[in-house]
Structure 1
Amino acid sequence: MILKKGELFNGPGGLALGAQKAGFTDSNGEYWGIQHEWSNDYDKDACATYSLNICGEQDHESVHCGPVQNLPIGDRSVLNDIDIFAFGFPCNDYSQVGEKLGLSGTFGPLYSYGIKVLKSYQPKFFVAENVGGLSSANEGKAFIKILTELEECGYVVTPHLYKFEEYDIPQARHRIIIVGVRNDLAENGTKYKVPAPTTPYSFQYKTSYEAIMFPSIVAEAPNHEYTNHTGKVQEMLSYIPAGENAWYLGIPEELRLNVKGARLSSIYKRLDPERPAYTVTGSGGGGTHMYHWEENRALTNRERARLQTFPDDYVFVGSKESVRKQVGMAVPPRGAEIVFNAILKTYAGIDYESIQPLAKLQLENLKGIKPNKIKDLVVE
Protein backbone atom coordinates (compact mmCIF):
# COMPACT_ATOMS: atom_id res chain seq x y z
CA MET A 1 0.00 0.00 0.00
CA ILE A 2 1.99 2.96 -1.30
CA LEU A 3 0.57 6.47 -0.94
CA LYS A 4 1.65 8.93 -3.64
CA LYS A 5 2.69 12.32 -2.26
CA GLY A 6 2.51 15.80 -3.74
CA GLU A 7 4.22 18.74 -2.05
CA LEU A 8 4.34 22.53 -2.22
CA PHE A 9 7.18 24.64 -0.82
CA ASN A 10 9.35 21.52 -0.78
CA GLY A 11 12.50 23.27 0.50
CA PRO A 12 15.53 20.96 0.71
CA GLY A 13 13.34 17.95 1.50
CA GLY A 14 12.94 17.61 5.27
CA LEU A 15 9.28 16.62 5.02
CA ALA A 16 9.98 14.45 1.98
CA LEU A 17 12.84 12.54 3.61
CA GLY A 18 10.67 11.90 6.66
CA ALA A 19 7.89 10.60 4.41
CA GLN A 20 10.37 8.45 2.50
CA LYS A 21 11.72 6.91 5.70
CA ALA A 22 8.25 6.26 7.14
CA GLY A 23 6.80 2.83 6.50
CA PHE A 24 6.28 -0.64 7.93
CA THR A 25 5.13 -4.16 7.11
CA ASP A 26 1.86 -5.14 8.75
CA SER A 27 0.93 -8.51 10.27
CA ASN A 28 -0.35 -9.69 6.87
CA GLY A 29 3.01 -9.04 5.22
CA GLU A 30 1.80 -5.96 3.35
CA TYR A 31 4.16 -2.97 3.16
CA TRP A 32 2.82 0.53 3.82
CA GLY A 33 4.84 3.49 2.60
CA ILE A 34 4.87 6.89 0.89
CA GLN A 35 6.31 7.72 -2.53
CA HIS A 36 7.23 11.09 -4.05
CA GLU A 37 5.02 12.03 -7.01
CA TRP A 38 5.60 15.77 -7.57
CA SER A 39 6.68 18.90 -5.74
CA ASN A 40 7.30 22.62 -6.15
CA ASP A 41 9.52 25.38 -4.77
CA TYR A 42 10.77 28.72 -6.13
CA ASP A 43 14.33 28.36 -4.74
CA LYS A 44 16.63 26.80 -7.37
CA ASP A 45 19.18 25.50 -4.88
CA ALA A 46 16.48 23.94 -2.68
CA CYS A 47 14.95 22.26 -5.74
CA ALA A 48 18.37 20.92 -6.75
CA THR A 49 18.93 19.59 -3.23
CA TYR A 50 15.49 17.97 -3.22
CA SER A 51 16.00 16.39 -6.65
CA LEU A 52 19.43 15.03 -5.78
CA ASN A 53 18.42 13.42 -2.50
CA ILE A 54 14.72 12.56 -2.84
CA CYS A 55 14.11 11.67 -6.47
CA GLY A 56 16.99 9.25 -6.95
CA GLU A 57 16.51 7.51 -10.29
CA GLN A 58 13.07 9.03 -10.75
CA ASP A 59 12.29 11.72 -13.30
CA HIS A 60 13.77 14.94 -11.89
CA GLU A 61 11.20 16.91 -13.85
CA SER A 62 8.74 15.94 -11.12
CA VAL A 63 10.31 18.77 -9.06
CA HIS A 64 8.76 21.92 -10.54
CA CYS A 65 11.02 24.89 -9.81
CA GLY A 66 9.38 28.30 -10.02
CA PRO A 67 6.77 30.52 -8.34
CA VAL A 68 3.83 28.55 -6.97
CA GLN A 69 1.60 31.09 -8.71
CA ASN A 70 2.71 29.59 -12.05
CA LEU A 71 2.19 25.94 -11.09
CA PRO A 72 -0.64 24.33 -13.14
CA ILE A 73 -2.54 22.98 -10.14
CA GLY A 74 -5.32 20.68 -11.33
CA ASP A 75 -3.70 19.84 -14.67
CA ARG A 76 -3.32 16.03 -14.45
CA SER A 77 -1.05 15.98 -17.51
CA VAL A 78 1.55 17.82 -15.39
CA LEU A 79 0.64 17.05 -11.77
CA ASN A 80 -0.75 13.55 -11.27
CA ASP A 81 -3.35 12.53 -8.72
CA ILE A 82 -2.01 12.06 -5.18
CA ASP A 83 -3.03 10.27 -1.98
CA ILE A 84 -1.24 12.53 0.47
CA PHE A 85 -0.30 16.20 0.29
CA ALA A 86 2.38 18.05 2.28
CA PHE A 87 3.03 21.75 2.46
CA GLY A 88 5.25 23.63 4.86
CA PHE A 89 3.90 26.97 3.70
CA PRO A 90 6.29 29.93 4.11
CA CYS A 91 6.58 31.03 7.72
CA ASN A 92 8.22 34.45 7.23
CA ASP A 93 5.09 36.42 8.13
CA TYR A 94 4.15 34.23 11.11
CA SER A 95 7.53 34.00 12.82
CA GLN A 96 8.08 35.53 16.27
CA VAL A 97 11.19 37.17 14.76
CA GLY A 98 10.21 39.91 12.33
CA GLU A 99 7.21 42.11 11.68
CA LYS A 100 4.61 39.36 12.29
CA LEU A 101 2.48 40.48 9.33
CA GLY A 102 0.53 37.21 9.13
CA LEU A 103 -2.00 37.15 6.30
CA SER A 104 -1.19 40.80 5.55
CA GLY A 105 2.37 39.98 4.48
CA THR A 106 3.86 38.82 1.21
CA PHE A 107 4.27 35.18 2.24
CA GLY A 108 1.30 34.69 4.58
CA PRO A 109 -1.34 34.25 1.85
CA LEU A 110 0.67 31.55 0.03
CA TYR A 111 -1.09 28.85 2.09
CA SER A 112 -4.04 29.44 -0.25
CA TYR A 113 -2.23 27.44 -2.96
CA GLY A 114 -2.32 24.49 -0.60
CA ILE A 115 -6.07 25.04 -0.34
CA LYS A 116 -6.24 24.98 -4.13
CA VAL A 117 -4.43 21.61 -4.23
CA LEU A 118 -6.78 20.12 -1.64
CA LYS A 119 -9.84 21.25 -3.55
CA SER A 120 -8.48 20.00 -6.90
CA TYR A 121 -7.04 16.64 -5.83
CA GLN A 122 -8.89 15.69 -2.63
CA PRO A 123 -6.03 13.51 -1.28
CA LYS A 124 -6.80 11.12 1.55
CA PHE A 125 -4.54 13.00 3.99
CA PHE A 126 -2.60 16.24 4.21
CA VAL A 127 0.18 17.59 6.43
CA ALA A 128 0.63 21.35 6.84
CA GLU A 129 3.54 22.78 8.85
CA ASN A 130 4.37 26.24 10.17
CA VAL A 131 6.00 28.08 13.07
CA GLY A 132 4.39 28.36 16.50
CA GLY A 133 3.77 32.06 15.82
CA LEU A 134 1.06 31.06 13.35
CA SER A 135 -1.35 30.76 16.28
CA SER A 136 -1.01 34.41 17.27
CA ALA A 137 -0.52 36.12 13.89
CA ASN A 138 -3.17 38.78 13.20
CA GLU A 139 -4.37 38.35 16.80
CA GLY A 140 -5.20 34.72 16.11
CA LYS A 141 -7.45 35.49 13.14
CA ALA A 142 -4.99 33.97 10.65
CA PHE A 143 -5.06 30.59 12.41
CA ILE A 144 -8.84 30.56 12.56
CA LYS A 145 -9.10 31.45 8.87
CA ILE A 146 -6.58 28.80 7.81
CA LEU A 147 -8.19 26.04 9.89
CA THR A 148 -11.65 27.02 8.66
CA GLU A 149 -10.61 26.86 5.01
CA LEU A 150 -8.86 23.52 5.51
CA GLU A 151 -12.02 22.05 7.03
CA GLU A 152 -14.17 23.51 4.27
CA CYS A 153 -12.04 21.56 1.77
CA GLY A 154 -13.60 18.43 3.25
CA TYR A 155 -11.25 17.40 6.06
CA VAL A 156 -11.19 16.70 9.77
CA VAL A 157 -8.17 18.62 11.02
CA THR A 158 -5.94 17.97 14.03
CA PRO A 159 -3.57 20.87 14.81
CA HIS A 160 -0.85 20.34 17.38
CA LEU A 161 2.18 22.26 18.66
CA TYR A 162 4.98 19.70 18.35
CA LYS A 163 7.98 20.23 20.62
CA PHE A 164 10.60 18.34 18.67
CA GLU A 165 13.01 17.90 21.58
CA GLU A 166 10.33 15.55 22.97
CA TYR A 167 10.76 13.34 19.89
CA ASP A 168 14.49 12.54 20.17
CA ILE A 169 15.50 15.56 18.09
CA PRO A 170 18.50 17.47 19.53
CA GLN A 171 16.89 20.87 19.13
CA ALA A 172 14.26 22.97 20.90
CA ARG A 173 12.15 23.52 17.79
CA HIS A 174 8.41 24.11 18.28
CA ARG A 175 6.21 23.90 15.21
CA ILE A 176 2.49 23.70 14.51
CA ILE A 177 1.63 20.73 12.33
CA ILE A 178 -1.92 20.30 11.06
CA VAL A 179 -2.92 16.82 9.88
CA GLY A 180 -6.09 16.44 7.83
CA VAL A 181 -8.12 13.28 7.20
CA ARG A 182 -10.62 13.39 4.34
CA ASN A 183 -14.21 13.42 5.60
CA ASP A 184 -15.28 10.13 4.02
CA LEU A 185 -12.40 8.30 5.71
CA ALA A 186 -13.08 10.03 9.02
CA GLU A 187 -16.76 9.04 8.85
CA ASN A 188 -15.64 5.41 8.51
CA GLY A 189 -13.55 5.59 11.68
CA THR A 190 -10.17 6.78 10.38
CA LYS A 191 -9.01 9.17 13.10
CA TYR A 192 -5.54 10.66 13.31
CA LYS A 193 -4.06 10.89 16.80
CA VAL A 194 -1.02 12.90 17.83
CA PRO A 195 1.86 10.44 18.34
CA ALA A 196 3.13 10.37 21.91
CA PRO A 197 6.57 11.89 22.59
CA THR A 198 9.41 9.39 22.53
CA THR A 199 11.48 11.45 25.01
CA PRO A 200 8.86 13.15 27.20
CA TYR A 201 11.19 14.08 30.06
CA SER A 202 14.00 16.66 29.94
CA PHE A 203 16.61 14.24 31.26
CA GLN A 204 15.95 12.07 28.17
CA TYR A 205 16.45 14.85 25.64
CA LYS A 206 19.18 14.32 23.08
CA THR A 207 21.86 16.97 23.52
CA SER A 208 23.65 19.04 20.90
CA TYR A 209 26.90 17.40 22.04
CA GLU A 210 25.57 13.91 21.34
CA ALA A 211 24.21 14.94 17.95
CA ILE A 212 27.40 16.58 16.72
CA MET A 213 30.04 14.37 18.33
CA PHE A 214 28.61 10.85 17.95
CA PRO A 215 29.60 9.64 15.49
CA SER A 216 32.29 12.18 14.65
CA ILE A 217 31.92 14.02 11.33
CA VAL A 218 34.64 13.13 8.84
CA ALA A 219 36.65 16.07 7.50
CA GLU A 220 35.56 15.44 3.90
CA ALA A 221 31.83 15.33 4.74
CA PRO A 222 29.74 17.50 2.38
CA ASN A 223 28.73 20.99 3.53
CA HIS A 224 31.29 20.92 6.35
CA GLU A 225 33.15 24.16 5.55
CA TYR A 226 34.34 26.25 8.49
CA THR A 227 33.64 29.98 8.77
CA ASN A 228 36.56 32.42 8.71
CA HIS A 229 36.09 34.68 11.74
CA THR A 230 37.97 37.89 12.47
CA GLY A 231 40.41 37.86 15.36
CA LYS A 232 38.10 40.14 17.35
CA VAL A 233 35.14 37.77 16.97
CA GLN A 234 37.25 34.79 18.03
CA GLU A 235 38.57 36.71 21.03
CA MET A 236 35.04 37.75 22.05
CA LEU A 237 33.84 34.16 21.75
CA SER A 238 36.68 33.04 24.02
CA TYR A 239 35.03 34.96 26.88
CA ILE A 240 31.54 33.51 26.31
CA PRO A 241 30.79 30.32 28.29
CA ALA A 242 28.63 27.51 26.92
CA GLY A 243 24.97 28.51 26.77
CA GLU A 244 25.67 32.27 27.00
CA ASN A 245 25.57 34.98 24.33
CA ALA A 246 27.16 38.27 23.27
CA TRP A 247 25.75 40.10 26.31
CA TYR A 248 27.58 37.95 28.83
CA LEU A 249 28.93 40.31 31.49
CA GLY A 250 32.35 38.68 31.48
CA ILE A 251 33.19 40.03 28.01
CA PRO A 252 35.68 42.93 28.21
CA GLU A 253 34.19 46.31 27.34
CA GLU A 254 36.34 46.77 24.22
CA LEU A 255 35.05 43.47 22.74
CA ARG A 256 31.35 44.00 23.37
CA LEU A 257 28.91 44.64 20.53
CA ASN A 258 28.11 48.28 19.88
CA VAL A 259 24.39 47.70 19.41
CA LYS A 260 21.74 49.64 21.28
CA GLY A 261 18.46 48.12 22.34
CA ALA A 262 19.19 44.63 21.00
CA ARG A 263 19.36 41.66 23.31
CA LEU A 264 18.45 38.76 21.03
CA SER A 265 19.47 35.62 22.88
CA SER A 266 20.79 33.95 19.71
CA ILE A 267 23.44 36.62 18.94
CA TYR A 268 26.82 34.86 19.23
CA LYS A 269 25.14 32.33 21.46
CA ARG A 270 27.08 29.18 22.21
CA LEU A 271 25.36 25.83 22.44
CA ASP A 272 24.98 24.20 25.82
CA PRO A 273 26.46 20.71 25.34
CA GLU A 274 24.21 19.31 28.06
CA ARG A 275 20.97 20.44 26.43
CA PRO A 276 19.29 20.30 23.01
CA ALA A 277 20.33 23.12 20.69
CA TYR A 278 18.29 26.26 20.44
CA THR A 279 16.29 26.62 17.21
CA VAL A 280 18.25 26.34 13.96
CA THR A 281 17.22 29.24 11.72
CA GLY A 282 17.81 30.15 8.09
CA SER A 283 17.76 33.94 8.39
CA GLY A 284 20.04 36.57 9.86
CA GLY A 285 23.62 37.66 9.39
CA GLY A 286 26.80 37.36 11.38
CA GLY A 287 26.26 36.45 15.00
CA THR A 288 23.21 34.26 14.31
CA HIS A 289 24.93 31.21 12.82
CA MET A 290 24.94 29.11 16.04
CA TYR A 291 28.21 28.73 17.89
CA HIS A 292 30.20 25.78 19.19
CA TRP A 293 30.10 25.27 22.97
CA GLU A 294 33.91 25.15 23.22
CA GLU A 295 35.66 26.05 19.98
CA ASN A 296 35.68 29.74 19.05
CA ARG A 297 33.68 29.39 15.83
CA ALA A 298 30.26 29.07 14.26
CA LEU A 299 28.90 25.63 13.50
CA THR A 300 29.40 24.26 10.02
CA ASN A 301 26.33 23.58 7.91
CA ARG A 302 26.90 19.86 8.36
CA GLU A 303 26.81 20.28 12.15
CA ARG A 304 23.62 22.32 11.84
CA ALA A 305 22.18 19.62 9.58
CA ARG A 306 22.96 17.09 12.32
CA LEU A 307 20.85 19.15 14.74
CA GLN A 308 18.07 19.00 12.14
CA THR A 309 18.51 15.17 11.90
CA PHE A 310 19.65 15.09 8.26
CA PRO A 311 22.09 12.21 7.61
CA ASP A 312 25.67 13.05 6.67
CA ASP A 313 25.24 11.73 3.13
CA TYR A 314 22.42 14.20 2.48
CA VAL A 315 24.10 16.72 0.16
CA PHE A 316 22.88 20.31 0.07
CA VAL A 317 23.38 22.19 -3.21
CA GLY A 318 24.46 25.84 -3.38
CA SER A 319 26.73 28.37 -1.70
CA LYS A 320 27.47 28.16 2.02
CA GLU A 321 24.90 30.90 2.71
CA SER A 322 22.29 29.19 0.54
CA VAL A 323 22.85 25.90 2.35
CA ARG A 324 22.62 27.64 5.74
CA LYS A 325 19.22 29.00 4.70
CA GLN A 326 18.03 25.62 3.42
CA VAL A 327 19.05 23.78 6.59
CA GLY A 328 17.42 26.38 8.83
CA MET A 329 14.11 26.43 6.97
CA ALA A 330 13.71 22.65 6.81
CA VAL A 331 11.45 20.39 8.86
CA PRO A 332 13.55 17.90 10.88
CA PRO A 333 13.22 14.64 8.91
CA ARG A 334 13.01 12.56 12.08
CA GLY A 335 10.03 14.59 13.27
CA ALA A 336 8.35 14.33 9.87
CA GLU A 337 8.92 10.57 9.85
CA ILE A 338 7.07 10.21 13.17
CA VAL A 339 4.07 12.16 11.84
CA PHE A 340 3.94 10.26 8.53
CA ASN A 341 4.27 6.92 10.31
CA ALA A 342 1.30 7.87 12.48
CA ILE A 343 -0.69 8.72 9.34
CA LEU A 344 0.16 5.36 7.74
CA LYS A 345 -0.83 3.49 10.91
CA THR A 346 -4.04 5.53 11.07
CA TYR A 347 -4.90 4.45 7.53
CA ALA A 348 -3.93 0.84 8.22
CA GLY A 349 -6.05 0.71 11.38
CA ILE A 350 -3.02 0.03 13.58
CA ASP A 351 -3.09 1.58 17.04
CA TYR A 352 -0.15 3.55 18.43
CA GLU A 353 0.66 5.54 21.56
CA SER A 354 -0.86 8.99 21.39
CA ILE A 355 -1.59 12.16 23.36
CA GLN A 356 -4.29 14.81 23.30
CA PRO A 357 -3.58 17.72 20.92
CA LEU A 358 -2.44 20.96 22.54
CA ALA A 359 -4.57 22.81 20.01
CA LYS A 360 -8.21 21.66 20.11
CA LEU A 361 -9.29 24.00 17.37
CA GLN A 362 -12.03 22.25 15.41
CA LEU A 363 -14.62 24.77 14.31
CA GLU A 364 -17.15 23.90 17.00
CA ASN A 365 -14.57 24.91 19.63
CA LEU A 366 -13.93 28.29 18.02
CA LYS A 367 -17.43 29.65 18.44
CA GLY A 368 -17.49 32.48 20.91
CA ILE A 369 -13.71 32.65 21.32
CA LYS A 370 -12.27 36.13 21.01
CA PRO A 371 -9.41 36.28 18.49
CA ASN A 372 -6.91 37.66 21.02
CA LYS A 373 -7.46 34.55 23.15
CA ILE A 374 -6.75 32.04 20.42
CA LYS A 375 -3.06 31.77 21.29
CA ASP A 376 -3.98 30.50 24.75
CA LEU A 377 -5.33 27.35 23.13
CA VAL A 378 -2.09 26.59 21.33
CA VAL A 379 0.98 27.90 23.08
CA GLU A 380 1.66 26.70 26.60
Structure 2
Amino acid sequence: MILLELFSGIGGFSKGFEKAGYPIEQTYFSEIDKHAIANFKYNFPHARHIGPVEKIATADIPHPDILTFGSPCQDFSDLGKGAGMAGRRSSLISYAIEAVRHFRPDVFVWENVKGVLFAKHRADLFSILKAFADIGGYRLEWQLLNTSWFLPQNRERIYLVGRLAERCAGSVFPIGEVD
Protein backbone atom coordinates (compact mmCIF):
# COMPACT_ATOMS: atom_id res chain seq x y z
CA MET A 1 0.00 0.00 0.00
CA ILE A 2 1.24 3.49 -0.84
CA LEU A 3 0.44 6.33 1.55
CA LEU A 4 0.68 10.04 0.75
CA GLU A 5 0.49 12.27 3.81
CA LEU A 6 0.05 16.04 3.30
CA PHE A 7 0.61 18.61 6.07
CA SER A 8 2.27 15.61 7.68
CA GLY A 9 3.78 17.10 10.80
CA ILE A 10 5.65 14.24 12.44
CA GLY A 11 3.55 11.51 10.82
CA GLY A 12 0.42 10.99 12.88
CA PHE A 13 -1.57 9.44 10.06
CA SER A 14 1.35 7.23 9.04
CA LYS A 15 1.75 6.01 12.61
CA GLY A 16 -1.99 5.41 12.92
CA PHE A 17 -2.17 3.29 9.77
CA GLU A 18 0.98 1.43 10.83
CA LYS A 19 -0.47 0.70 14.30
CA ALA A 20 -3.76 -0.42 12.71
CA GLY A 21 -1.81 -3.07 10.81
CA TYR A 22 -2.00 -1.66 7.29
CA PRO A 23 0.92 -2.92 5.18
CA ILE A 24 2.48 0.36 4.04
CA GLU A 25 5.15 -0.39 1.44
CA GLN A 26 6.02 3.26 0.76
CA THR A 27 5.17 6.56 2.42
CA TYR A 28 5.46 9.95 0.74
CA PHE A 29 4.99 13.10 2.78
CA SER A 30 4.68 16.84 2.34
CA GLU A 31 5.69 19.19 5.14
CA ILE A 32 7.48 22.55 5.39
CA ASP A 33 8.65 22.65 9.01
CA LYS A 34 12.27 21.45 9.13
CA HIS A 35 11.92 20.00 12.64
CA ALA A 36 8.78 18.07 11.71
CA ILE A 37 10.52 16.78 8.55
CA ALA A 38 13.51 15.59 10.58
CA ASN A 39 11.20 13.89 13.10
CA PHE A 40 9.16 12.25 10.33
CA LYS A 41 12.33 10.91 8.70
CA TYR A 42 13.52 9.62 12.08
CA ASN A 43 10.21 7.83 12.71
CA PHE A 44 9.92 6.57 9.12
CA PRO A 45 13.45 6.25 7.65
CA HIS A 46 12.24 4.99 4.27
CA ALA A 47 9.61 7.72 3.80
CA ARG A 48 10.22 10.14 0.97
CA HIS A 49 9.77 13.88 1.49
CA ILE A 50 8.22 15.42 -1.64
CA GLY A 51 8.33 19.10 -0.76
CA PRO A 52 5.68 21.71 -0.02
CA VAL A 53 1.99 21.07 -0.63
CA GLU A 54 1.84 23.88 -3.18
CA LYS A 55 3.84 21.66 -5.56
CA ILE A 56 2.00 18.40 -4.83
CA ALA A 57 0.37 18.06 -8.25
CA THR A 58 3.81 17.94 -9.90
CA ALA A 59 5.22 15.29 -7.55
CA ASP A 60 6.55 12.27 -9.41
CA ILE A 61 5.15 9.49 -7.28
CA PRO A 62 3.10 6.37 -7.98
CA HIS A 63 -0.64 6.24 -7.40
CA PRO A 64 -1.26 6.52 -3.63
CA ASP A 65 -3.78 4.07 -2.20
CA ILE A 66 -4.45 6.42 0.72
CA LEU A 67 -4.05 10.19 0.85
CA THR A 68 -4.28 11.87 4.26
CA PHE A 69 -4.22 15.49 5.35
CA GLY A 70 -4.82 17.46 8.51
CA SER A 71 -4.78 20.84 6.80
CA PRO A 72 -3.95 23.94 8.85
CA CYS A 73 -6.78 24.70 11.25
CA GLN A 74 -5.95 28.06 12.81
CA ASP A 75 -8.43 29.96 10.65
CA PHE A 76 -11.26 27.57 11.67
CA SER A 77 -10.31 27.31 15.34
CA ASP A 78 -12.51 28.97 17.95
CA LEU A 79 -9.29 30.43 19.36
CA GLY A 80 -8.33 31.99 16.01
CA LYS A 81 -9.64 35.07 14.26
CA GLY A 82 -12.26 33.10 12.35
CA ALA A 83 -11.00 33.87 8.84
CA GLY A 84 -12.08 30.44 7.58
CA MET A 85 -11.24 29.73 3.95
CA ALA A 86 -10.35 33.39 3.48
CA GLY A 87 -7.40 32.79 5.81
CA ARG A 88 -3.94 32.17 4.43
CA ARG A 89 -3.46 28.87 6.27
CA SER A 90 -6.86 27.18 6.05
CA SER A 91 -7.12 27.96 2.34
CA LEU A 92 -4.21 25.54 1.81
CA ILE A 93 -6.80 22.74 1.80
CA SER A 94 -7.29 23.67 -1.87
CA TYR A 95 -3.97 21.89 -2.58
CA ALA A 96 -5.23 18.75 -0.85
CA ILE A 97 -8.40 18.88 -2.96
CA GLU A 98 -6.25 19.23 -6.07
CA ALA A 99 -4.12 16.27 -4.92
CA VAL A 100 -7.25 14.11 -4.60
CA ARG A 101 -8.33 15.22 -8.08
CA HIS A 102 -4.86 14.58 -9.54
CA PHE A 103 -3.93 11.27 -7.86
CA ARG A 104 -7.43 9.78 -7.38
CA PRO A 105 -6.48 7.71 -4.33
CA ASP A 106 -8.69 4.82 -3.30
CA VAL A 107 -9.27 6.53 0.04
CA PHE A 108 -8.61 9.99 1.42
CA VAL A 109 -8.94 11.21 5.01
CA TRP A 110 -9.18 14.83 6.18
CA GLU A 111 -8.91 15.80 9.83
CA ASN A 112 -9.59 19.26 11.23
CA VAL A 113 -10.87 21.13 14.29
CA LYS A 114 -14.55 21.12 15.18
CA GLY A 115 -14.63 24.86 14.45
CA VAL A 116 -15.12 24.03 10.77
CA LEU A 117 -18.65 22.96 11.82
CA PHE A 118 -19.47 26.32 13.47
CA ALA A 119 -22.21 28.40 11.84
CA LYS A 120 -19.73 31.10 10.84
CA HIS A 121 -17.79 28.52 8.78
CA ARG A 122 -20.79 26.64 7.36
CA ALA A 123 -20.33 28.09 3.87
CA ASP A 124 -16.65 27.13 3.96
CA LEU A 125 -17.48 23.55 4.97
CA PHE A 126 -20.08 23.30 2.22
CA SER A 127 -17.58 24.61 -0.34
CA ILE A 128 -15.01 22.02 0.80
CA LEU A 129 -17.58 19.21 0.61
CA LYS A 130 -18.74 20.45 -2.80
CA ALA A 131 -15.16 20.55 -4.10
CA PHE A 132 -14.67 16.90 -3.10
CA ALA A 133 -18.08 15.92 -4.50
CA ASP A 134 -17.31 17.70 -7.78
CA ILE A 135 -14.26 15.48 -8.28
CA GLY A 136 -16.77 12.68 -8.76
CA GLY A 137 -16.70 9.01 -7.92
CA TYR A 138 -16.17 9.31 -4.17
CA ARG A 139 -18.51 8.39 -1.35
CA LEU A 140 -18.05 11.02 1.37
CA GLU A 141 -18.71 10.47 5.08
CA TRP A 142 -17.78 12.54 8.09
CA GLN A 143 -18.13 12.54 11.85
CA LEU A 144 -17.08 14.70 14.77
CA LEU A 145 -15.02 12.52 17.13
CA ASN A 146 -13.49 13.23 20.50
CA THR A 147 -9.94 11.96 20.23
CA SER A 148 -9.79 11.12 23.95
CA TRP A 149 -10.83 7.52 23.29
CA PHE A 150 -7.85 6.81 21.03
CA LEU A 151 -5.31 9.58 21.78
CA PRO A 152 -4.08 10.98 25.10
CA GLN A 153 -5.91 14.28 24.62
CA ASN A 154 -9.46 15.57 24.91
CA ARG A 155 -10.08 17.24 21.54
CA GLU A 156 -13.00 17.10 19.18
CA ARG A 157 -12.05 16.73 15.54
CA ILE A 158 -13.96 16.33 12.32
CA TYR A 159 -12.89 13.39 10.17
CA LEU A 160 -13.98 13.27 6.54
CA VAL A 161 -13.36 10.05 4.62
CA GLY A 162 -13.73 9.77 0.88
CA ARG A 163 -13.73 6.32 -0.74
CA LEU A 164 -14.00 5.43 -4.40
CA ALA A 165 -17.69 4.63 -4.64
CA GLU A 166 -17.34 1.61 -6.92
CA ARG A 167 -14.93 -0.04 -4.50
CA CYS A 168 -16.60 0.60 -1.16
CA ALA A 169 -19.15 -1.37 0.77
CA GLY A 170 -20.75 -0.46 4.06
CA SER A 171 -20.11 2.68 6.03
CA VAL A 172 -17.13 4.06 7.89
CA PHE A 173 -19.23 6.17 10.27
CA PRO A 174 -20.69 6.34 12.82
CA ILE A 175 -17.86 5.29 15.07
CA GLY A 176 -18.82 5.01 18.73
CA GLU A 177 -16.61 5.63 21.68
CA VAL A 178 -15.05 2.63 23.37
CA ASP A 179 -16.23 2.04 26.94
TM-score, normalising length from structure 1?
Answer: 0.44
Q: 1:136 offset after TM fit, Å?
A: 1.9
The change in CA–CA distance for 1:36 and 1:138 in structure 2 (over 3 A counts) is farther
The change in CA–CA distance for 1:100 and 1:35 in structure 2 (over 3 A counts) is farther
The equivalent of 2:5 in structure 1 is: 7
Please say if 1:33 is aligned against 2:23: yes
Compare relative contact order (CA 8 Å, sep 6+) and give the higher one, 1 or 2.
Answer: 1
Instruction: Report the secondary structure of 1:140's partner residue.
Output: helix
Identity of aligned residues (%): 30
Deviations 1:86-109 (A, max 9, x none): 000010111110201001110121
The structure 1 residue matched to 2:141, chosen from 153, 158, 166, is: 158
Instruction: Report the secondary structure of 2:50's partner residue.
Output: strand
The equivalent of 2:106 in structure 1 is: 124
Instruction: Report the secondary structure of 2:40's partner residue.
Output: helix
Aligned letter for 1:127?
Answer: V
Aligned letter for 2:9?
Answer: G
The structure 2 residue matched to 1:92, chosen from 74, 99, 109, is: 74
| Count of residue pairs brought into register by the alignment | 178
Instruction: Report the secondary structure of 1:116's partner residue.
Output: helix
Instruction: Report the secondary structure of 2:101's partner residue.
Output: helix
**Aligned-partner Cα distance in 1 for 2:142–2:31:** 24
Matches within 5 A, 1:311-350: none
The structure 2 residue matched to 1:17, chosen from 2, 11, 15, is: 15
Deviations 1:154-193 (A, max 9, x none): 311111101122x24332111111011112224xx35323
Aligned letter for 2:8?
Answer: N
Deviations 1:206-238 (A, max 9, x none): xxxxxxxxxxxxxxxxxxxxxxxxxxxxxxxxx
| 8 Å CA contact retained: 2:3, 2:28 | yes
**Aligned-partner Cα distance in 2 for 1:118–1:99:** 28
**Aligned-partner Cα distance in 1 for 2:127–2:174:** 22
**Aligned-partner Cα distance in 1 for 2:14–2:56:** 21
**Aligned-partner Cα distance in 2 for 1:170–1:22:** 17
The change in CA–CA distance for 1:6 and 1:141 in structure 2 (over 3 A counts) is same
The equivalent of 2:89 in structure 1 is: 107
**Aligned-partner Cα distance in 1 for 2:173–2:61:** 30
Q: 1:148 offset after TM fit, Å?
A: 1.2
The structure 1 residue matched to 2:49, chosen from 32, 38, 63, is: 63
The equivalent of 2:178 in structure 1 is: 198
The equivalent of 1:291 in structure 2 is: none
The change in CA–CA distance for 1:139 and 1:40 in structure 2 (over 3 A counts) is closer
The CA RMSD measured in Å over matched residues stands at: 1.8
Q: 1:68 offset after TM fit, Å?
A: 1.9
Bigger fraction of residues in strand: 2
TM-score, normalising length from structure 2?
Answer: 0.90
The change in CA–CA distance for 1:35 and 1:175 in structure 2 (over 3 A counts) is farther
**Aligned-partner Cα distance in 2 for 1:116–1:81:** 14
Aligned letter for 2:19?
Answer: K
**Aligned-partner Cα distance in 1 for 2:85–2:120:** 7
Instruction: Report the secondary structure of 1:181's partner residue.
Output: strand
Please say if 1:73 is aligned against 2:57: yes
Deviations 1:48-106 (A, max 9, x none): 1111102x2x2x5x1134x322x24154xx22211110000010111110201001110
Structure 1 unaligned blocks of 5 or more:
24-31, 200-380
The equivalent of 1:218 in structure 2 is: none
**Aligned-partner Cα distance in 1 for 2:33–2:152:** 27
